[in-house]
Amino acid sequence: MSQPDDRSPDARRQDEARRILDRADRDSAPMMESALQRSGDFFTARGESDDPAEIWGKRVGRILAVVAAIGCLVWLYLTYGR
């Protein structure tokens, strides 16, 4: 059950304004910067595990997957694109 809010109307408005400003700040972050940050975190396996072998295994596997995908695209272009 929700409990009644004992705070003053000013305190509630300040909290709501702070939440709105935080959300606006998050939403207005440059898209390319956040995309680059996420892709960097993905390829370096940051924050996923504490085991060094697992981290390096994920890094190597993900990089090899990108290399294989690029190789497939080049092969498809050279075979069917010309």
Q: Which residues are CB-contacts of 58 (< 8 A; sequence separation ≥ 6)?
A: 45, 48, 49
* Position 44 in a domain: yes
Total number of domains constituting the chain: 1
Domain presence at residue 3: no
State the virtual CA torsion across 28, 32, 35, 37 in degrees, nearest 10.
-90
Q: Whole-structure pTM over 0.75, yes or no?
A: no
Greater confidence, 67 or 41?
67
What local confidence, expressed as pLDDT, does residue 10 receive?
87
- Residues spanned by the domain of 33: 9-81
Residue 13 lies in a domain: yes
Q: Please indicate, yes or no, if residue 58 is contained in any of the structural domains.
A: yes
State how far the Cα of 80 lies from the Cα of 52, in Å rounded to an integer.
42
In a domain, 73, yes or no: yes
Alpha-carbon span 60 to 13, nearest angstrom:
50
pLDDT tens sequence across 11-63:
889 999 999 888 887 777 676 677 777 777 777 777 777 888 888 888 899 89
Q: Do the domain assignments include residue 1?
A: no
Position 1 scores a pLDDT of: 47
